[in-house]
Amino acid sequence: LNVVLCVSHLKRTLAMTNLVEEAKRIAAYQAVDDNVLNNTAVGIGSGSTVVYAVDRLAERIKAEKLKIVCVPTSFQARQLILKNNMVLGDLETHPDLSCVIDGADEVDENLVLIKGGGGCLTQEKIVASCTPKLVIIADHTKQSKNLGDRYKKGIPIEVIPLAYVPVQKKIETIFGGQAPVRMAKSKAGPVVTDNGNFILDWQFPPETLNNSWESINNKLILIPGVVETGLFINMASRVYFGLQDGSVISK
Ligand code: 5RP
């Protein structure tokens, strides 16, 4: 009986994973089709949903003979661009981007985002700041009323390594909650970002929601040693959510 239960649990988990992957794919495809124009420079975000966006972009570049320069937000994005034989650019030569397509860990009802689950928040925010059109792609599990409803790991905060303990203590004292340093899966040491820094994942207490994210973000940024936060406020211009029923909604 145990084996039967185990197999059916496994099958259900697999079916759910496939649904989420499909939701990511359709959101990404729709976003690329609606927002990428010929002869433009486009920012390429990071994470597993962006992989689908790059697939679609590569398909369109080939089929429609588009001329697109792609500016990456991470080492992963750079690798994706190169693997798909797309034109790699940077902010030095392309400081104005037509749009940026990126994922998110959570999106609240005001389109405030938590980003940085993959540790790329700083470059993602810099690239996002270079466009009037930050387009977010996500599956339905990322949609929430209040931040923290869905993404339970906390708000990622990139810090200069030598400052990680003082920053951790200051965050916990000023705002409450806990801000552990993100450890590598092997537990051999902290995760190191593309910029050579560490990440604190601030698990904020519920009363944080009584304040505005903007004022919290402004205070976090002022702590010496904080490089950037994964709070993206008033940055997303459009969010595409792939739903379980195979449709896409955009806000
Ligand atoms: C990386 C990010 C990602 O966009 C975010 O973590 C979402 O990733 P995924 O599409 O894999 O769920 O912010 O720093």
What digits encode the pLDDT tens for the residues 174-203? 999 999 999 999 989 999 999 999 999 999
**Span from the CA of 229 to the centroid of ligand 1 (angstroms):** 14
**Span from the CA of 37 to the centroid of ligand 1 (angstroms):** 24
Q: Which of 25, 76, 78, 120 to mutate to test the pocket of ligand 1 (most atoms within 8 A of CB)?
A: 120
Per-residue confidence (pLDDT) for residue 1, from 0 to 100? 66
Q: Which of 100, 112, 115 to mutate to test the pocket of ligand 1 (most atoms within 8 A of CB)?
A: 115
Per-residue confidence (pLDDT) for residue 17, from 0 to 100? 77
- Which residue in 90, 89, 76, 36 sits closest to 59, CA to CA? 36
Query: pLDDT tens digits for 138-175?
Result: 999 999 999 999 999 999 999 999 999 999 999 999 99
**Span from the CA of 223 to the centroid of ligand 1 (angstroms):** 25
Nearest CA to ligand 1 atom 2: 116
What is the mean predicted confidence (pLDDT) over 214-218? 97
Per-residue confidence (pLDDT) for residue 5, from 0 to 100? 66
What is the rounded average pLDDT for all residues in the chain? 95
- Which residue in 192, 39, 37 sits closest to 101, CA to CA? 37
Please say if the pLDDT value at position 9 is more than 70.
no
Q: Is the ipTM of this complex over 0.85?
A: yes
Per-residue confidence (pLDDT) for residue 2, from 0 to 100? 76
Please say if the pLDDT value at position 11 is more than 90.
no
Per-residue confidence (pLDDT) for residue 192, from 0 to 100? 97
Nearest CA to ligand 1 atom 14: 116
Per-residue confidence (pLDDT) for residue 210, from 0 to 100? 83
**Span from the CA of 209 to the centroid of ligand 1 (angstroms):** 23
Per-residue confidence (pLDDT) for residue 216, from 0 to 100? 97
Question: Three-state SS string across 137-191, please?
Answer: EEEHHHECCCCCCCCCCCEEEEECHHHHHHHHHHHHHHHCCECCECECCCCCCEC
Per-residue confidence (pLDDT) for residue 7, from 0 to 100? 74
Q: Which residues are catalytic?
A: 124
Ligand 1, CB within 6 Å, residue ranges: 45-49, 102-105, 115-121, 124
Query: pLDDT tens digits for 15-59?
Result: 777 999 999 999 999 999 999 999 999 999 999 999 999 999 999
Per-residue confidence (pLDDT) for residue 233, from 0 to 100? 98
